A and B are shown apart, each in its own frame.
Chain A
Amino acid sequence: MTGPVVHDVHSLPADDNVNPYAFSVDLDGRWFLQKGKMIAYYGQIDFHGIGHGRLDRLIAGSFHSPLHAADWVVAEGRGKMLLADRSFDVNSYDLDEGNLTIRSGNVLAFQPSLSLKQSIIPGFLTLIGTGKFVAASNGPVVFVEPPIRVDPQALVGWADCPSPCHHYDHRYLRGFLGGLRAHTGFGGVSGEEHQFEFTGAGTVLLQSTERIVPELATGALPEEDGIPGDGGHVPQSGSQLPQLPGNLRGLQRRFGL
């Protein structure tokens, strides 16, 4: 019987996966990483929370997401650092003057040469620039090219293509019964009436399960007109009738109440 592979500081790969679940970073300088994703390190590395201080310039240059600031740290120093996330699959991706939008819970770490911004799609982050980043997925990632419709739960992110739009299966939702079915679930739903639709040139990243990596509590979006997401006001229908809770409200609107 052969024993397990023993790694030391020299045999650990530089900026590559140790196994499908752990990634080794050859740190010489700085990396951004999400809190709690570091599992072990060799060498001299300091972790700084993101706030004011001597890292101000770095953060001004590559971190543009104040809502996520509390979840990120800067690792600074020299050494080898192991990253992992709840034993999900981890992969690294290289961006070359590109952009990639990804579910916020999936990003583990990125090089400061990239810049992190909040996507206008709530719950997603966009990375712009040139550099390497590490992301987790539940099961291996599959790359596909648009035009494609994907299940919302299987979507990890997309690169270089315009933002997706919602697509509803029209035939299934048509008519009174369809409406009843869609809004209440009576009559059975296949669970596949709703997809994200991608068009244009680019790449879409899918994971091989529909169990999503839990999202981060990203705080509230600024209350400003024109910003989609939690911050926006829920459009009120003109009706003065009491509104039914949840999906039934949609049904109510359908009947013009």
Chain B
Amino acid sequence: MLAVDMTGDAVRAKNGAMVAYEGRMAFKKMTGGGEGLRGMVTRRLTGEQMAVMEAKGEGTCYFADRACEINLVRLQGEKLYVEAGNLLCTDAALRTGTTFTGLRGASQGNGLFTTTVEGHGQAAITSDGPAVVLRVTQQYPLQVDPGAYVAHTGDLRQHFQSGVNFRTFIGEGSGEAFQIRFEGEGLVYVQPSERTTVGGDV
């Protein structure tokens, strides 16, 4: 559960994620994720719809989502890439947008696009079990199972890597046929659990 202390400022959160609050709060549904008309159209087209509300007021507001673990990410101008479903809450000062991710999304079964958060402030992301934060450097690229990937920050290139060979087709697949390879400099958030993915059983 996430507690947010507010003094007249606002946070954006996933619709319906508020579980309790103390003090004075006003909740407002933000059509199209608070990104204006263009953002709304982009989200509709890319399938990264987010139902977002704005909480504003004074007091403490508590957010939670399906008993998931919550990880706080402090952003100082960099960009956070996260699946819309894993984004719980952001400071109002952070901008959200949509970006193309390539083949990774397709293997996860959640689309070719992902959500970006940028600016200065904090964002809260949910994961099934506490996320492990892994650093990627030039010398040490990281491979992640698409089902366990939650989010990443920094200047990272993603490659979709596949170990499919003839054995996969005769039923002797390794079960780890698809990975995302991250190269560059940055941090990757991985959850200790796997979502069911389209490529997961291959």
Contact = CB atoms under 8 A, between A and B. Distances in A.
Contacts of B168: 49
A47 B163 contact: yes
A167 B133 CA distance: 47
Contacts of A82: 132, 134, 190
Interface string A181-221: 00000000000000000000000000000000000000000
B191 A87 contact: yes
Contacts of B194: 36, 39, 84, 86
Contacts of B72: 1, 3-4
Contacts of B141: 42
A28 interface: no
Given A7-B132, A19-B132, A22-B192, A39 B140 contact: no
Contacts of B143: 40-42, 45
Contacts of A43: 140
Q: For chain B, what secondary structure do more than half of its interface residues adopt (helix, strand, loop), or is it mixed?
A: loop
Interface string A1-28: 1011111110000000011011000000
A48 interface: yes
B18 interface: no
Interface string A70-110: 11010000000010111100100000000000000000000
| A interface bracket (residues with beta carbon within 8 Å of B) | 35 or more
Given A6-B187, A82-B132, A86-B193, A36 B171 contact: no
B137 interface: yes
A84 B133 contact: no
A161 interface: no
Contact of A40 (B174, B175, B188): B188
A66 interface: no
A223 interface: no
B128 interface: yes
Contacts of A47: 163, 174-177
A76 to B, nearest CB: 10
B176 A38 contact: yes
A137 to B, nearest CB: 14
A160 interface: no
B173 A39 contact: no
B193 A38 contact: no
B154 to A, nearest CB: 11
A70 B148 contact: no
A1 B71 CA distance: 13
B111 interface: no
A86 B128 CA distance: 8
A147 interface: no
B192 to A, nearest CB: 3
Contact of B172 (A5, A42, A51): A51
B142 interface: yes
B88 interface: no
B153 to A, nearest CB: 11
Interface in B134-156: 134-135, 137, 140-145, 147-148
A8 B140 contact: yes
Contacts of B131: 4
Contacts of A53: 167
A50 interface: yes
B74 interface: yes
Nearest to A53: B167
B193 A87 contact: yes
A41 B133 CA distance: 12
B129 interface: yes
Contacts of B184: none
Given A19-B130, A48-B174, A86-B194, 18 more contacts: A1-B72, A1-B74, A4-B131, A6-B133, A6-B134, A7-B135, A8-B135, A19-B132, A22-B192, A35-B176, A36-B201, A38-B176, A39-B144, A47-B163, A84-B191, A84-B194, A85-B192, A87-B193
5 contacts: A6-B187, A38-B176, A49-B174, A49-B175, A86-B128
